[in-house]
Amino acid sequence: MTEAFSINTFLKKAIALGASDEHIIVGQPPFVRVNGFMKRVVMDPIKRTDIANLLLEIAPQNIVQQFNTEKDIDFIYEIPGVSRFRINYSRRLGNPAIVARNIPYSIPTVEQLGLPPIINSFSKFPSGLVIITGPTGSGKSTTLAAIINEINSNENKNIITIEDPIEYIFDSKKSMVSQRQLGPDVLSFASGVKYALRQDPDVLLIGEIRDIETMDAALKAAETGHLVLATLHTNDAIQTVNRIVNLFDESNRELARKRVAETLRAVVAQKLVYSKEKDKRFPACEIMIVTPTIKDYILKEETDEIYRLISNNASEGMMSLNQSLSELVKEGLISPDEAMNSSGEKNEMSKMLRGVYV
């Protein structure tokens, strides 16, 4: 007789393996992602009834009925003393599927994440907009959590987060932290920001900017003296500036560009790159800090000039992705091939690796 699938047992074993994500799909054994690589788990294929039963076990009672009508649902599940999990429910070929992302209890610091120390200084901005960008799974939410925790530990602020779903849980320390989730607490990111401004905030965290309404709300919050931290799905600082501006109608883009130039304080574009042994990953970052010169380039629509300034202003704390990759190679953490594969400017990267260009 086949033993019934236990979601708790499976997730505990995945945590013990060092997995970051777990995939449960009807008709095949589960997969886990370890150090960025997908690995098949040796066990019986998952049955439709397995997923139906586990959903009843782990899903909040208020959303159980939604599984019959909605195609994608996100929620949080916790195994006390083990980990929290961000659960995504979806359908594939008509069958239900589950993807779990592990969310540790402890919030790592910028130093523990291996990120440049300059990122800690973003917690000191009195107002403005800080954007963390990068592909899915690059650690954007964790970087934001590290910055929020820095503020929480050292500043007397009122911090309000708007997330979908809430991932890291903050205990109020020197600051007061209020966390609001789409669905149970707010209708949308945009309305969440709108009403948060009536709740005496100093700092706002927006889990993800997905549309023009949320971007407009974020800019308004930054313009009215609040520090706004958010994520965006872009690849680099220049693309981030252009994406923000291009969210707006053409007739409003000149004003949007001015608003971005006035409020944007910094952009961090990060990705995770593999170690030489492929057994761990390290963050590589492009960091843009908006200086008066960069502000001027944004206003003049000369964003292509920004890359040169990022590369040449290490004294301001800025760095290009290639500079970050080059440092990881020098420290022996990644291979030159990995640096080349991860670079968006391969000719420059090749010269850096040969010592021709610094």
In this prediction, residue 1 carries a pLDDT of: 40
Write down the pTM of the prediction. Answer: 0.89
Rounded to an integer, what distance in angstroms lies between the CA atom of residue 260 and that of residue 288? 14
Model pLDDT for residues 29-75, shown as the tens digit of each residue: 999 999 889 999 999 999 999 999 999 899 988 787 788 788 888 88
Going from the C-alpha of 145 to that of each of 106, 130, 140, the distances in angstroms are 10, 13, 9
User: Domains plus CATH for the chain?
Assistant: 7-103 (3.30.450.90), 117-319 (3.40.50.300)
Q: Residue 305 carries which side chain, given as an amino acid letter? A: E
SS3 40: strand
Beta strand spans in the chain (E): 19-25, 31-34, 37-40, 73-79, 83-92, 95-103, 128-133, 158-163, 176-181, 203-206, 227-232, 264-274, 281-289
Which residues pair with residue 95 across a beta bridge?
92
In this prediction, residue 23 carries a pLDDT of: 97
Q: How many CA atoms lie within 13 A of 171 on its CB side?
A: 4
Segments of the chain with pLDDT less than 50: 1
CA 340-344-349 angle, 5° bins: 45
Q: Are 101 and 27 in contact (CB under 8 A)?
A: no
Angle, helices 212-223 vs 253-263, to 10°: value is: 50
Going from the C-alpha of 190 to that of each of 139, 160, 220, the distances in angstroms are 23, 14, 11
- Pairing outcome for strands 176-181 and 73-79: unpaired
Which residues pair with residue 74 across a beta bridge?
88
Tokens of 278: 């492929």
- DSSP assignments along 45-88, one per residue: PBPHHHHHHHHHHHS-GGGGGGGGT-S-EEEEEEETTTEEEEEE
